[in-house]
């Protein structure tokens, strides 16, 4: 399935039905009087979050949503039928914005959360409402009100406890494939991961947390280099940023500089991201050679009081210790958010 996390759509709530102008004309009712019924209200446009979806693909291909209009009022004071609401299902974690004002209208971050995005028009009153002692046969009724219409921006921000960050080929996809049931594409060339991947990690019999593997960043991502940072919205909700740095002897770059490059890009995207707890993971230690790069990164993290874990996902080294640490951190964050 194609992953879509951003789209624009148009919505239009249903108009209210017209009030009716009618009079009773019955053989045994000599003074019938006005009997026009009210129009029904239109249908609302309602957005509802569901865990059965994980992409905005449906909204990408259907850009227009309209609700049913209300039925017009009828004689004998019969009320017009209300229009049916139009329910639009979206993934949990969907943010809805007004495209014209950029105002956030709703943040559907829980299962079954719903919101009326466009309110329906009220039905018009029939002429039965306008009879008075002075004017006993009114010949006018109200028209129905128009339903709201809006242009919307729909964004999806995946809900995950831990976000994996790093340069391309830092080992993010390999790690998430080892610690969860997620099966992302893994290859020895940059930008293997083109869209975020989610994986559920189980620690012991009861504890579990969700990890998001975000496509790799490179220097200049804020200017659109590489894949840019269009997917960074998916780590804005995470509790912990797990920063992966390749410490193998295959690379000649400075591991500390690699770490700083990504943080610079994060800060350019959102200074708020830099306030999140960061943990550094030195990856591919099974091919670290003389461990100069590993030790340099470890020393730097110690000087900055950043938690550091050397691991090898391929050789399953250091993974158990890392997961135990993450489980404690995630559980602590969940309790503090209650």
Domain boundary among 156, 187, 219: 156
Q: 322 versus 136: which is more confidently predicted?
A: 322
pLDDT digits (tens, 9 = 90+) for 131-177: 888 888 899 999 999 999 999 999 998 888 999 988 888 888 899 98
Give all strands of the β-sheet with 278-283 in edge-to-edge order.
197-203, 207-213, 162-166, 240-246, 278-283, 308-310
Q: What is the pLDDT of residue 123?
A: 97
Q: What mean pLDDT comes out for the span 30-59?
A: 90
Both 211 and 148 in one domain: the answer is no
Indicate the DSSP class of residue 215: P
1 pLDDT exceeds 50? no
- CA separation, residue 284 to residues 208, 293, 299 (Å): 25, 11, 17
Both 151 and 167 in one domain: the answer is no
Residue among 156, 138, 132, 119 at smallest CA distance from 16:
119
Both 172 and 143 in one domain: the answer is no
pLDDT band at 218 (very low <50, low <70, confident <90, very high): confident
Domain boundary among 156, 183, 213: 156
Q: What is the pLDDT of residue 224?
A: 67
Contacts of 79 (CB under 8 A, 6+ apart): 37, 38, 39, 40, 73, 123
Containing 303, the helix (H) or strand (E) segment is: helix 292-303
pLDDT digits (tens, 9 = 90+) for 253-279: 899 999 999 899 888 888 888 888 899
Domain annotation covers residue 289:
yes
What percentage of residues in the chain have a pLDDT greater than 90? Answer: 54
Q: Which two tokens stand for residue 272?
A: 């708020």
Residue among 67, 59, 45, 71 at smallest CA distance from 4:
59
Domain annotation covers residue 89:
yes
pLDDT digits (tens, 9 = 90+) for 75-120: 989 999 999 999 999 999 999 999 999 999 999 999 999 999 999 9
CATH of the domain at 287: 3.40.50.300
Both 331 and 232 in one domain: the answer is yes
52 pLDDT exceeds 60? yes
Both 183 and 322 in one domain: the answer is yes
Both 40 and 146 in one domain: the answer is yes
- The domain tally of the chain equals 2
Domain boundary among 131, 156, 181: 156
Q: Please answer whether residues 174 and 186 qualify as being in contact, where contact means their C-beta atoms are separated by less than 8 angstroms.
A: yes
3-state secondary structure 67-92: CCCCCCCECCCECCCCCCCEEEEEEC
Range of the domain at 65: 6-156
Q: What mean pLDDT comes out for the span 222-232?
A: 68
Domain annotation covers residue 249:
yes
Both 118 and 251 in one domain: the answer is no
190 pLDDT exceeds 60? no
Q: What is the pLDDT of residue 78?
A: 94
Q: What is the pTM of this model?
A: 0.76
Both 136 and 215 in one domain: the answer is no
Residue among 271, 155, 285, 158 at smallest CA distance from 214:
158
191 pLDDT exceeds 90? no
Both 243 and 321 in one domain: the answer is yes
Q: What is the pLDDT of residue 306?
A: 95
Containing 102, the helix (H) or strand (E) segment is: none
CA 121/CA 66 separation, integer angstroms: 13
Q: What is the pLDDT of residue 157?
A: 87
pLDDT band at 30 (very low <50, low <70, confident <90, very high): low
332 pLDDT exceeds 90? no
Both 130 and 201 in one domain: the answer is no
Mean pLDDT of the chain: 88
Phi, psi of 262 (to 5 degrees): -70, -40
Both 76 and 178 in one domain: the answer is no
Both 90 and 36 in one domain: the answer is yes
Q: What is the pLDDT of residue 223?
A: 67
Q: What is the pLDDT of residue 203?
A: 85
Q: Is 22 exposed, middle or buried (0-12, 13-18, 19+ CB in 10 A)?
A: buried
Q: What is the pLDDT of residue 196?
A: 79
Indicate the DSSP class of residue 93: T
Domain annotation covers residue 1:
no
pLDDT band at 126 (very low <50, low <70, confident <90, very high): very high
Q: What is the pLDDT of residue 62?
A: 92
CATH of the domain at 131: 2.70.210.12
Q: Please answer whether residues 168 and 242 qualify as being in contact, where contact means their C-beta atoms are separated by less than 8 angstroms.
A: no
């Amino acid at each position: 399935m194609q992953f879509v996390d951003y789209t624009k759509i148009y919505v239009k709530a249903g108009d209210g039905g017209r009030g009716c102008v009618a009079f009773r004309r019955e053989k045994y009712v000599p003074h019938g009087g006005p009997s026009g019924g009210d129009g029904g209200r239109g249908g609302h446009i309602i957005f509802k979050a569901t865990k059965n979806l994980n992409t905005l693909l449906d909204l990408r291909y259907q850009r227009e949503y309209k609700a049913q209009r209300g039925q017009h009022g009828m004689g004998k004071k019969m009320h017009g039928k209300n229009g049916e609401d139009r329910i639009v299902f979206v993934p949990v974690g969907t943010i809805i914005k007004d495209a014209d004002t950029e105002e956030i209208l709703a943040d559907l971050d829980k299962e079954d959360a719903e919101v009326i995005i466009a309110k329906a028009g009220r039905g018009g009153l029939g002429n039965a409402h306008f009879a008075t002692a002075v004017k006993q046969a009114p010949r006018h009724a109200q028209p129905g009100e128009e339903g709201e219409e809006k242009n919307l921006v729909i964004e999806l921000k995946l809900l995950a406890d831990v976000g994996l960050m790093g340069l391309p080929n830092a080992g993010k996809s390999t790690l998430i494939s080892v610690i969860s049931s997620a099966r992302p594409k893994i290859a020895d060339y940059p930008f293997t991961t083109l869209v975020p991947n989610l994986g559920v990690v189980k620690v012991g019999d009861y504890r579990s947390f969700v990890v998001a593997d975000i496509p790799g960043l490179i220097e200049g991502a804020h200017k659109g280099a590489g894949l840019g940072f269009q997917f960074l919205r998916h780590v804005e909700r995470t509790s912990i940023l797990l920063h992966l740095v390749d410490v193998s002897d295959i690379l000649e770059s400075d591991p500390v500089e690699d770490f700083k490059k990504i943080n610079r890009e994060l800060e350019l995207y959102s200074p708020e991201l830099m306030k999140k707890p960061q943990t550094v993971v030195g990856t591919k230690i099974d091919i670290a050679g003389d461990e100069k790069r590993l030790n340099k990164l470890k020393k730097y993290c110690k000087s900055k009081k950043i938690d550091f874990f050397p691991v090898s996902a391929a050789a399953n080294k250091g993974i158990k210790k890392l997961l135990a640490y993450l489980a404690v951190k995630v559980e602590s964050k969940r309790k503090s958010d209650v």
